[in-house]
Each structure stands twice: as structure tokens, then as C-alpha cells.
Amino acid sequence: MPPSPAAAMRQRQPPSLPLFRAPVADVGDFLDRVRAFADFGRPTELAAHDGIPYFINEFWTSAQRQAHALHEVSYRACFKPQLPAFFVASLTAPGERVHDPFMGRGTTPIQAALMGRHPVGNDINPLAVLLTRPRLRPPAPAAIARRLDEIPWDGVMPDRDDLLAFYHPATLTQLAALRAWLARRCPIAEADPDPVDDWIRMVALNRLSGHSPGFFSVRTMPPNQAVSLAAQRRMNAKSGAVPPRRDVAALILRKSRRLLADGVPPPVPALLHVGPAEATGAIADGSVALVVTSPPFLDVVQYADDNWLRCWFAGIDPAAIAIAMHRTEAAWRDMVRAVLAEQARILRPGGHVAFEVGEVRRGTVLLERAVWQAASGLPFDRLGVIVNRQDFTKTAQCWGVANNRAGTNTNRIVLLRRR
């Protein structure tokens, strides 16, 4: 059976290549393109709710492997790189700065660099820099292999026997040795660490726990979070699983080759910052052309709990990170307003914010309306909400959730223009 027109379009779409290949002359041109967009076989739906214009379509592919391999780093509640690519391609020119104040795994900075823009990123958790910085300056596989051969993989006693719920004793010994090596040579406070050590740590952080033999651990939950020790013990007991012995160096090298399979970004200046999104003083006034971001959604995702194992390996104290959890829409809207005020400071006139929110509480809470309200009175023109509606959601399926009924099935992006 021949593929459908939409499926054929997805197959033809080269990795990392945006659908809009040239910047628009002005935002009116961009909105005209959005209205006329039909690359996946459906017309854009136009709607208005409470005075907010909506543009609804599938604006980028939902295929899972249609992005640059360098993005294949798991992180909870991250968006696909096709999202920032859509806006970077149309609303910026090569050499301009693109910022994400909640960069997480670094999707926006990495995609910006791949497209020849200058990446700027911020996050309250230093883990975000450890995940992002190495992929902006990747070493060659041969250099990674040589460094892995230099590491003494024994002689360090693990400091936590409870982690045997995840790891074979020999694997845990290797992880302890690697952790000690990195703590000496590549401390997290180092602003310009050795790129090879930095890379090895990034890959190790992303192999700590997962559901296949490509990870260091026994089979556990999906790799974008670490379950608690008690939960892992229950899973082991229920399935009869025993943590298998893994070769840490071999798995790091294998994952490195996969990440580098599509090449590396061009060498572009980058600025990565650790701190609250509403206070990024290291970024100069009017220096950014585009902000593409997605903030924490109320109290839905427990970022500290999800990343406890990565924080242990990196030497980060999660209790010392002021990750805000907003219990009410009003509190969340106040946070968004403070963040938008900071984006107004760093954006150049005519620059844009693409502020993505997902579906919360089964679609009963429409956070884009809170963002729209938060932007009122700030020096922005509120242009509308772009809704990327997908027919397939891997995240929903892996959690056993019926597609398009729960989970995140749409990206809802509030588009603002700096006056």
C-alpha cells in the first residue's frame, strides 16, 4: 500500500531541516504563511476564543526520528526540536541570538546552533548546562575513545549500596570510578571544562537508567526520569529482574557515535547561564532576536524527583535548587509575567517570543490564556496562539494513555512580538 500524502511528506523531510527555509520579511508574512500552511495535507483552521486568534494545524512532523541525532538526549517534558526549528527558520537570520530561559535538555540552543544562530540558554538547574554545553562543541569519537581508555575503572568504592537496586555491583563500581574521575577533572563549577570530559559526563548522565541494554541499569521506567529506589525494588521483585553487568565505557562510546551520526553544529558563540528565568543579567539588553521556550506546567512535573539519579552522579544537591512548583493558575501567571518582562528586556525591537504550553489536567486548564493575560501591559504585540495538533504521541503511548485523550497531544504556542 503506498504511503499517505502526509506520510510521504514526512519521509521526504530531511533530518534537522525546517519546513520554512528562509526568514520572513515581517511578521505579517509569517502569519500569512501560517494561515496558508498545508504541508501535511490539511488546511490551517482559524478560530478565536476570548479575543485570542488561534491557528490550528500540524505545522511540523510528529515522526520521532526526523530530527538531528544530536538531540537524542532524554529529558522529562521536553518539546521536539522541530518546534524551535519552525520559528528559528522563519523569524531569525543566521548569526542572530536565540534564547530559552527554561532550556532543560537544551533543545532550543542545540537547534539554534545547528541552524547557524547563536545559542543562549538559561535554567535554574545546573544539570541543564551539563546536558547542553557538550553538544555545542562535540569532540571526535576517536578522542572520546582515547579518554575512556585513560580512566581507571576500578579502585573506587561506591558510596551508595542502595543503588544496587539499579546496577550490577561491577557496573556500580565503574560508575563510582567515572564519577570520581569527573569530579577531579571536570567539576561542575568549572566554566570551561575539557570538552571530552564534559561530553563523557553528558552521555553518562543519559545512560544512567532506562528500559533497554543500552543503559547502565536494570530495566526501569522510560529514560526521561528515574523512579525512586523503593519503586525500582518493587519492579525488580515483581519481574524477577536482576541488574545485569554492563560495560560503562562501551555504552558511552556507542551512544556517542549515535549522537554524532548526523555531524556537529558549526562553531558559533554560545552563552549558557544558571539562575532564575526572570533574572538573566548576563544577557545584554536588546541582544536577542527570538525566545523559544516552555516553562514548567503548574505542579504537573516533579523535576527534582525525576532527576535525582542524574543529580547524584553529577554531584548536584537537588534540595539546593529553587525549582518553583506553582499550585494555582494565578501563581503560575505571576511567574510567567516576571519571565516575560525579562524577555522584553533582552529582546531587540521586532524580536519574538514563542512561548509553548501543553495540555494540563486533561485539557481543562488552557495555559495559553494565562500567558496571554500575563503579557498584557508589557511591551509586546500579542499575535496569536499557534496550535500544533498531532495524530500520534509517543509519550502518551509509552505511559499506556490513549492517544489524543490524555498526555500531551498538542503544542500550544503564544506568539509575541517586541515593540
What tens digit of pLDDT does each residue of 87-102 get? Answer: 999 999 999 999 999 9
The position carrying cell 556500580 is 172
Q: 50 pLDDT exceeds 80? A: yes
Q: Which of 53-62, 149-158, 222-231, 327-336 has the lowest mean pLDDT?
A: 222-231
Please, which residues have CB within 8 angstroms of residue 308's CB and are 6 or more apart in sequence? 226, 228, 318
Torsion angles phi and psi, residue 380, rounded to 5: -130, 145
Q: Stretch 324-346: mean pLDDT, rounded? A: 92
Diameter over CA atoms, the chain: 66
Q: What is the pLDDT of residue 25?
A: 73
| Candidate CATH numbers 3.40.50.300, 3.40.50.620, 3.40.50.1700, 3.40.50.150; the one for domain 5-124+265-309+321-418 | 3.40.50.150
> What average pLDDT does this structure show over 42-61?
94
Nearest one of 164, 206, 232 to 310, comparing CA atoms: 206
pLDDT digit string, tens, across residues 319-330: 888 777 777 889
Nearest to 44 by CA among 368, 332, 388, 393: 388
Reply yes or no on whether the pLDDT at 7 is more than 50.
Answer: no
pTM to 2 decimal places: 0.90
* Residues forming beta bridges with residue 288, ordered by sequence position: 347
The pLDDT of 34-41, averaged and rounded, is: 91
CA distance 417 to 387: 17
Domain ranges of the chain: 5-124+265-309+321-418, 141-259
pLDDT one-digit tens code per residue, 360-419? 666 667 899 999 999 999 999 999 999 998 765 444 444 344 444 444 468 899 999 999
Q: Extract the C-alpha cell encoding 209.
A: 537508567
Most confident by average pLDDT, 6-20, 34-48, 224-238, 246-260: 246-260
3-class DSSP string for the chain: CCCCHHHHHHHHCCCCCCCCCCCCCCHHHHHHHHHHCCCCCCCCEEEEECCEEEEEECCCCCCCCCCCHHHCCCCCCCCCCHHHHHHHHHHCCCCCEEEECCCCCCHHHHHHHHCCCEEEEEECCCHHHHHHHHHHCCCCHHHHHHHHHHCCCCCCCCCCHHHHHCCCHHHHHHHHHHHHHHHHHCCCCCCCCCHHHHHHHHHHHCCCCECCCCCCCCECCCCCCCCCHHHHHHHHHHHCCCCCCCCHHHHHHHHHHHHCCCCCCCCCCCEEEECCCCCCCCCCCCCEEEEEECCCCCCCCCHHHHCHHHHHHHCCCHHHCCCCCCCCHHHHHHHHHHHHHHHHHHEEEEEEEEEEECCECCCCECHHHHHHHHHCCCCEEEEEEEEEECCCCHHHHHCCCCCCCCCCCEEEEEEEEEC
> For the chain, first and last CA: distance in Å?
51
Residue located via cell numbers 528586556:
345
Cell of 214: 543500552
**pLDDT score of 74:** 86
Whether the per-residue pLDDT at 6 is higher than 50: the answer is no
Question: What pLDDT, on a 0 to 100 scale, did the predictor assign at position 76?
Answer: 77
Q: Residue 2's pLDDT is what?
A: 41
295-313 pLDDT, tens per residue? 987 665 666 678 899 999 9
CA dihedral 33, 37, 39, 42 (to 10 degrees): 180
Cα separation, 396 vs 358, in Å, equals: 13
Q: Which residue has 527570538 as its cell numbers?
A: 290
Whole-number CA gyration radius for the chain: 22
C-alpha cell, 376: 498584557
Nearest Cα to Cα of residue 278 among 291, 260, 266, 261: 291
Grid coordinates of 274: 544558571
